Amino acid sequence: MTGVPLSWYLILSALLFALGVAGFLFRRNIITVFMSIELMLNAVNLSFVAFSYQLKQVNGHIFTFFVMVVAAAEAAVGLAIILTVFKNRETLNVDEVNSLKN
């Protein structure tokens, strides 16, 4: 009984992060783009906890905790911004929210 190699956890984290990047770049719905950011944050949290196991230190858990707090604050502000954008423009498509471009 040898257990799971730590690199499997890190590769799973890399896979989730790459999927988050793909969702962030290719999706058009602003809410789905925001959820892709949450997916990336979760992937990074998994690496933090995995390295915490490797080094036998709790510091990685603390950083994961802070990432969660920042993600909660970010979700509150981001969703408020999404609400305001929808109220002003009646759309959730990121391609149509381009007033800074011109």
- By CB under 8 A, the residues from 35 to 64 that bind other proteins are 35-36, 38-39, 42, 45-46, 49-50, 52-54, 56-59, 61-62, 64
Is 97 among the residues that bind other proteins (CB under 8 A)?
no
How many CB atoms sit inside 10 A of residue 41's CB? 18
DSSP 8-state code for residue 58 = S
Hey, which residues between 2 and 21 contact other proteins (CB under 8 A)? 2-12, 14-21
- The binder of other proteins chosen from 89, 92, 98, 99 (CB under 8 A): 92
Dihedral angle computed from the Cα positions of residues 19, 24, 30 and 32, in that order, rounded to the nearest 10 degrees? 0
What is the distance between the alpha carbons of residues 83 and 36, in angstroms, rounded to a whole number?
18
Q: Which is nearer to other proteins, 13 or 102 (by Cβ)?
A: 13
